[in-house]
Structure 1
Amino acid sequence: MKLNEHIAISTPSLLLVPYEAHHVPTYHQWMQDPEIQSATASEPLTLEEEYENQLSWRTSTDKLTFIICSPLPSSPSPTADIAAVVPDDADTPGKMLGDVNLFLYPYEEEEDEEEFSDGPVPRGVVGEVDIMIADKQNRGRGLGEEVVRAFVGWVWGCRGEVVGEYLSDKLVDGKEGGEGGRVVVPELRMLMVKIGEGNEASLRLFRDKLGWEQEGGRNYFGEVKFVLRDVGGWVERGKKERGEVVRYERGGGKV
C-alpha cells in the first residue's frame, strides 16, 4: 500500500518504517535462513526478485508492511514535536529487526454470503497479520507484543484509509459496487493470524499475551488460526501502548 509510504511509528522500544528499496539487501539476507523460510512459509528469492517484491508491497492495495527497527535515540513526550525519521539513518541495516505485515481479504462468513451477489465490493474486510523478528537475539524480549500493539493500533486508527485504498482498484465504472447504485464502504470486521503449530513463541504471543482467540484446530498446512473480532475494544484497552506517528521523510514533523 501507498498509505504508509511517509509514515513511521515510534515507541520506546521500536520504530516501524515503510519497506523501502534500501532495506532489500538486509531483508534478502534474512530470507536465506531456512528457519525463517519455514516460519513464514516462504521460498527464497533472488535479490532481483526481492526488489520486485518490495515494489509489489508498495503498489498493491491489499497488503501493507512496516520494517521493525531499533527505537529512536530518545522517546518523545506525548506533547512534544517529533522530528522526521530520516531514511538511511534511523533504519540502517544494523538497526533492522524484522517486519510486520497486513493482508486484506473479503469477509466471507456465512451471514455475509448474499452481500457479495450485487457487486465486486465486499461488505466486510478481514485483515491477516504476520510478524517476523529476524535475529534470534531479539526474540523473547517482548518485542513482538509491542510491535503488534503499535501496528494494530495504527491500522485501526486509520482503518477508513486502509479499507479505502483496498477498495480503490475494485471500482466498477468509477463507482463502488452496491445495491441500487448505493455506495458500499466495507468495514474492517476482524483480524486474524495463522501460526505453525510448532511455533510455540508465536502461539504464546497471540494466545497468552495478546489474548486473541483460537478458532478451530490445526488446518491442512499445520497452522492454527487466532482471531480478534472486537478490534476497537482491544485497541482501546491497550491504548497506552500505542506509538507516536512520525513523518518518514526529511524536513517533516509530527503527524
Structure 2
Amino acid sequence: MRINSNSQIKGLNVVLVPYRDYHVPKYHDWMKSEELQKLTASEPLTLGEEYEMQKSWRDDEDKSMIGDTNIFIVNKDTATAEIEIMIAEKLARGKKFGWEAVILMMLYGIKYIGIKKYEAKISLVNNVSLNMFKKLGFLEHSKSEVFQEVTLQKNVSEDWTKWLHRQFYFEIQSL
C-alpha cells in the first residue's frame, strides 16, 4: 500500500519494512516449503509470478504488507481487516517474533488505517497460530471444512488497544 511505502515499524526484537523487490528471491525460496504452503494455505508461484505479486502489493491501495505480516482491508465501511503472519525461517520460530510482529502490525492498522475489527483465517492444522490469536483475544467466528480453516475475529476496543501497547514498545519511522 502506498500509504506505508516508506514506513518502518521498529519493535524491541523485530523491524517491519515494506515488501521490496530485493526481498522476492528469499520469499520465493521460503514458499517452496511444503510445510509453509500447508500452514498458509498457499500455492507455489514461479519467480516471475512472485515478482508480479510483489508489484501488486506495492501498488495496491487496499493492502498493507510489512515483512510478511499483512493487513487486507476486507470491508472499508466497517473498517474490518484480515491480519496474517508467517514466520518462514525455522530458526526464528518460537522466539515471539510472530507475536511481536502481529501486534505491531495491528497497532499500525488501528492508529494509521483506522481498523475497528480484525479477522484471521488460519489453517485448522496450524495450532501455533490458532493459539497465538486466541491469546490475543480473538474468538472463533466460523469454520470451513472445505478450505480447512477457521476464521477468528476481534473487535478493536480502547482497553484491548492499551493492552496491545503494553506488550511492546514500537515506533514508526520513515525509511
Please, what TM-score do these two structures have when normalized by structure 1?
A: 0.65
1:197 and 1:222 in contact (8 A); partners too: yes
Distance (Å, rounded) in 1 between the aligned partners of 2:158 and 2:88: 29
Give 2:104's aligned residue.
150
The answer to whether the Cα contact below 8 Å between 1:101 and 1:130 also exists between their aligned partners in 2 is yes
1:68-113 deviation per Cα after TM superposition (whole angstroms, max 9, x unaligned): xxxxxxxxxxxxxxxxxxxxxxxxxxxxxxx10011122xxxxxxx
Deviation digits for residues 143-182 of structure 1 (CA, Å, limit 9, x no counterpart): 111111111111111125xxxxxxxxxxxxxxxxxxxxxx
Q: Deviations over 1:105-149 (max 9, x none)?
A: 22xxxxxxxxxxxxxxx6323100111000112111111111111
- Match of residue 14 from structure 2: 14
- In the other structure, the counterpart of 2:123 is 196
Label 1:231 to 1:66 Cα distance change in 2 as closer, same or farther (>3 A): farther
The aligned residue for residue 140 of structure 1 is: 94
- Do 2:84 and 2:102's aligned partners in 1 also have CA atoms closer than 8 Å? no
SS in 1 for 2:2: coil
Whether 1:60 aligns to 2:60 is yes
Does the CA contact (< 8 Å) of 2:41 and 2:123 recur in 1?
no
Query: Runs in 1 of length 4+ with deviation above 2 angstroms?
Result: 216-220, 230-233
Alignment of 1:79-98 (within 5 A): none
Structure 2 gap ranges (5+):
none
Residue in structure 2 matched with residue 78 of structure 1 by the alignment: none
Structure 2 CA distance for aligned equivalents of residues 131 and 226 of structure 1: 14
RMSD: 1.5
The answer to whether residue 171 in structure 2 is matched with residue 244 in structure 1 is yes
TM-aligned CA distance change 1:63 to 1:39, over 3 Å: same
The structure in which a higher percent of residues are helix is 2
Instruction: Check whether the contact 1:191–1:227 (CA below 8 A) recurs between aligned residues.
Output: yes
Gapped runs of 5+ residues in structure 1?
68-98, 107-121, 161-187, 249-255
Does the 8 Å CA contact 2:19/2:54 hold for their aligned counterparts? Answer: yes
Distance 1:232-1:47 versus aligned 2 partners, 3 A rule: farther
TM-score (norm 2): 0.92
Paired residue secondary structure (2:3): coil
Match of 1:103 among 68, 72, 75: 72
User: How many equivalent residue pairs?
Assistant: 174
CA distance in 2, matches of 1:43, 1:31: 8
